[in-house]
Structure 1
Amino acid sequence: MGRPIILLLALVFLAPAPTSRAASRLGEVSFANSGAPAAQAPFIRGLALLHNFEYADAAIAFREAQAADPGFAMAWWGEAMSYNHPVWMEQDADKARRALASFGPTPDVRLSKAGTEREKAYVHALETLYGAGDKKDRDLRYAEEMARLHERFPADVDATAFYALSLLGTAHEGRDFATYMRAAALLEEVFPTHPNHPGVLHYLIHCYDDPIHAPLGMRAARLYGPLAAGAPHALHMTSHIFIALGMWDEVIAANLAARGAGNDARRAKGLAPEPCGHSREWLVYGYLQERRLAEADAMIADSRRMAVIEIARPPGPAADRRWSELASYADMATRSAIDTGRPAEPLPAVIEPADNEPARFMLAYGEAMAAPADSARLRAAFERLGALRRHVWPAPK
């Protein structure tokens, strides 16, 4: 966005338009608003984190903005937005509704507190996202509201980016090219004028995240990692394009950088380095493709050690299973078994079915893929797969 446009928006909305620049290592965002001066820095930081899918840190930043200006509607909007993860089809509506209730008891009250017509449009769309109805219906109506917001404020790059993201959030039946290309078309319109906007680059990568369209995402992937090097997810996300094109050196480099950035952030909070995680799984896959088996084996062995420790703990909530050590180990060990023909080392502890059936299914799948044809080992693995499948993917009711 050029300086004259930023100044014009500032006059229209009676607020400064602070910008989070590359020095913050989150990309560049600018959002004219009615918040108090003390709320500007945390709000802009929260917005950049939100576009980078660093949701937990975004919520913290938006709460800092709330503390600086309790009547700043967009600070509460931001926290509620951090509980909606459209691409992953995840949403914590209860947390979002509690946050909104802290700002005002009803949608009308909350809307009346929004300082500008543009802010009212954002808050109104948010009320649709967390209003009545099931998630699928709310996602569809939210996308319709974001379309109206985008049409009303065509110069607002964040409205364009969030509208594109809302479209991706309507693909409940799985990725479909029509929806994803609609979103891409919106983002391509603003990409030339906003090449450093984290949402534009990030969501373009999601739009093109398949082997057919991956070449179209190369521009965004090359820009996004260096621009948002302070966001671990951004660094990892570039590898979604690289992996589709068989660029294994780049896949490895991106996920090493993502793990490094993630662990730097954890150390800054006084936390230990993360032993598992999505970027680690992709890193191991890159090593396997380059036949760097010693490096892959070392990471798998370390993850297995942590999985054994995890198994000994009481079962956690279902939300933890996707990113658990056991799930991470199962993913890496299975990919290794498929690529090398070497079965994973059996776990020495009982895996409780109620908490870990997806991981058990993955391990049985890897065993089946690595087993010799027409062998007792293969038949046993298929029996386990059949039994587990009924629990992991039950028949629709």
Structure 2
Amino acid sequence: LELWERCVKLGLVETVFSIPFNTSSIVSLAQKHFQIGYLCLHSFQYDLARHAFDNAIRQNPNFIYSYLGKMMSYKHTLWSHIDIQSALLVYEQIEKLNLTLKEKDRDYLNTIYQWFAYPSNIRQGELNFMLSIQNMTLKYPQDNEIKVWYSLSLMNLGMNLNMAREILKKLLLVEPNHPGVLH
């Protein structure tokens, strides 16, 4: 097992990597479930990720990132599988919460929504996601999670694989145990 997989089994998720999302007001158990879900998401364990995100939502129904993670679990980025209807149901749940989101949280929501916004043209949604996450890398240059998702979107589209590889190589130097960087 990789270090991060052993830590998840032991419940030591924070040992693996820090998630830069602003979670200061989040119930710690919700945060732990979110972290487990996020690690499962990066290791292609989409059903387990969804289960962990659901647990985080039960602990804190206003934890926006748990919903975003759940939405992302319906897009198997490298495997060309997408469940648009389920993801849009999660999006509707977020909208019903009527939360006041910070700008970055709204940017994440709008970016992830792009994947699912074009049911009749999945490729267009993938392209729009890539362009939106690329813009986020410029707007939030210190956010490594955004860089990971940008590189994965490039791989998903089969575009500029050298750039995707270079991004991940640089991130590997600062976050060697991050499962998303290890793709």
Smaller-chain TM-score bracket? 0.7 to 0.9
1:41-79, CA deviations, whole angstroms, 9 ceiling, x for partnerless residues?
Answer: 101111111111111000000111111111111111000
Residue 119 of structure 1 is matched in structure 2 by 105
Which of the pair has the greater relative contact order for Cα pairs under 8 Å at 6+ separation?
2
Residue 176 of structure 2 is matched in structure 1 by 195
- Please tell me whether residue 145 in structure 1 is matched to residue 132 in structure 2: yes
Aligned length: 172
Residue 115 of structure 2 is matched in structure 1 by 129
In structure 2, do the counterparts of structure 1 residues 155 and 22 end up closer, same or farther at CA, with 3 Å as the change threshold? Answer: farther
Within 5 Å, give how 1:21-100 maps onto structure 2: 23-24=7-8, 28-31=16-19, 32-34=21-23, 36-37=26-27, 38-100=29-91
Q: For residue 33 of structure 1, what is the amino acid of its counterpart? A: N
TM-score relative to the length of structure 2: 0.84
In structure 2, do the counterparts of structure 1 residues 157 and 72 end up closer, same or farther at CA, with 3 Å as the change threshold? Answer: same
Question: Residues of 2 paired with 1:138 and 1:23: CA distance?
Answer: 34
Kindly indicate whether the alpha-carbon contact (under 8 Å) linking 1:29 and 1:48 is maintained by their aligned counterparts in 2.
no
1:179, distance to aligned residue in structure 2 (A): 2.5
Q: For residue 149 of structure 2, what is the amino acid of its counterpart? A: F
1:127-181, CA deviations, whole angstroms, 9 ceiling, x for partnerless residues?
Answer: 211113510000000000111112222222211111111112223xxxxxx5222
1:201-260, CA deviations, whole angstroms, 9 ceiling, x for partnerless residues?
Answer: 1x2xxxxxxxxxxxxxxxxxxxxxxxxxxxxxxxxxxxxxxxxxxxxxxxxxxxxxxxxx
Rg (Cα) greater in structure: 1
Residue 4 of structure 1 is matched in structure 2 by none
Residue 185 of structure 1 is matched in structure 2 by 166
Unaligned 5+ runs, structure 1: 1-19, 172-177, 204-397
Residue 288 of structure 1 is matched in structure 2 by none
Kindly indicate whether the alpha-carbon contact (under 8 Å) linking 2:7 and 2:16 is maintained by their aligned counterparts in 1.
no
TM-score relative to the length of structure 1: 0.41
1:21, distance to aligned residue in structure 2 (A): 8.4
Q: For residue 54 of structure 2, what is the amino acid of its counterpart? A: R
Within 5 Å, give how 1:281-320 maps onto structure 2: none
1:126, distance to aligned residue in structure 2 (A): 1.1
Unaligned 5+ runs, structure 2: none
1:22, distance to aligned residue in structure 2 (A): 5.1
Q: For residue 188 of structure 1, what is the amino acid of its counterpart? A: K
Question: Residues of 1 paired with 2:142 and 2:16: CA distance?
Answer: 16
Question: Residues of 2 paired with 1:86 and 1:97: CA distance?
Answer: 16
Kindly indicate whether the alpha-carbon contact (under 8 Å) linking 2:16 and 2:177 is maintained by their aligned counterparts in 1.
yes
Question: Residues of 2 paired with 1:120 and 1:103: CA distance?
Answer: 11
Kindly indicate whether the alpha-carbon contact (under 8 Å) linking 2:17 and 2:175 is maintained by their aligned counterparts in 1.
no
- Please tell me whether residue 158 in structure 1 is matched to residue 108 in structure 2: no
Question: Residues of 1 paired with 2:138 and 2:115: CA distance?
Answer: 18
1:29, distance to aligned residue in structure 2 (A): 2.9
In structure 2, do the counterparts of structure 1 residues 39 and 113 end up closer, same or farther at CA, with 3 Å as the change threshold? Answer: farther
